[in-house]
Amino acid sequence: MGIVFNSSNFPSERATKARVLVAGGAGFLGSHLCERLLREGRTVVCVDNFSTGRMENIRHLLRFDTFSYVRHDVIDPIDLPVDEIYNLACPASPPHYQADPIHTMKTNVIGSLNLLQLAARYQARIFQASTSEVYGDPHVHPQPESYWGNVNSFGPRSCYDEGKRCAETLFYDFHKQHGVDIRIVRIFNTYGPRMRPDDGRVVSNFITQALQGKDITIYGDGSQTRSFCYVDDLIDGFSRLMYNPRAIHTPVNIGNPGEFTVRELAEQIVEMTGSSSSVVYYPLPTDDPRQRRPDITLAERELGWAPKIALTEGLKSTITYFERQLVRPNGELAEVA
């Protein structure tokens, strides 16, 4: 059994009446979100099982007396009086979500169900961090929210792709059946400081390999495209949707529509790091999407949101973050002296 929360172990309210639960708050995106919420004066409890989240991502937040964290898995019930809930609780990189696909599916489905029931109990607004993977290997490009997707339900990525699609369905049903106030963002590839070097995504992979002078590994011929959004832009999109005076209860794409081939990304990182790494090619993984680019018309029109940080600028900050760290043989990070 997981920990059951109650008001006695929730941090005292001082800066604001808004009590916010961030599931997955010790992860890459979750820690940036917690930081923003705290700076805006909210009282935040980070809930994380630390399977991929890291204590070092949130250690600097302990100075806030309106912040606390608890080790807890959202597939177990949770009871805590809150005003807002952010659900970011799921591994997002293929190596991590494929390591235990059944748990990944349970996190997406049972975890979402538990948090939605919590939202219904306390009439809290709830935010779902969905993903562009709901579009699968798309036949429509760029991908608008109206596109239903091309997703394989029987493959190695299905636990994540179909899990996120099922979570969106639960959010829809809780809104229609119980009147729960929902917000849903479909996240496109995001990068920035606090990414794990072992998360298996192209930006962190390429930077880590380049800094260590290792071969840059590209899967496929490198012609597949991705759109890369810097983390600060993404979190701003979260906030604009969550607190928009016009409640939007349908999914909204948040991502940078700039489109690059994977090969172009590798070449740019090699150049920016001054690395001597060579590029090597491996077979493309099963169901890996060939194209990915968000149509952000809805976000621009309804939220006044568009990304501000260019890829080159964001990569500079991300490379600097990784330069300050070393990768131990066990994959953990150590600060460079």
What is the spatial distance between Cα 200 and Cα 206, in angstroms, rounded to a whole number? 9
- C-alpha atoms less than 13 angstroms from C-alpha of 229 in its C-beta half-sphere: 28
Residue 97 annotated to the active site: no
Token digits of residue 226 = 């991705």
Residue 224's nearest CA partner among 140, 289, 268, 144 is: 289
**Cα-based distances in Å from 65 to 9, 10, 183:** 13, 11, 28
- Which amino acid would we find at residue 330? N
21 CA to centre of own chain: 16
Give the active site residue among 160, 191, 230, 321.
Answer: 160
**Cα-based distances in Å from 268 to 189, 207, 226, 304:** 17, 10, 14, 30
For Cα atoms 163, 167, 169, give the angle at the middle one, nearest 5 degrees: 120
What is the spatial distance between Cα 160 and Cα 184, in angstroms, rounded to a whole number? 16
- Which amino acid would we find at residue 281? Y
In terms of DSSP bridges, do strands 225-226 and 260-261 run parallel, antiparallel, or are they unpaired? antiparallel
Token digits of residue 304 = 């006044």
Task: Judge whether 13 and 19 are in contact, CB under 8 Å.
Answer: yes
What is the spatial distance between Cα 14 and Cα 262, in angstroms, rounded to a whole number? 47
Catalytic residues: 160
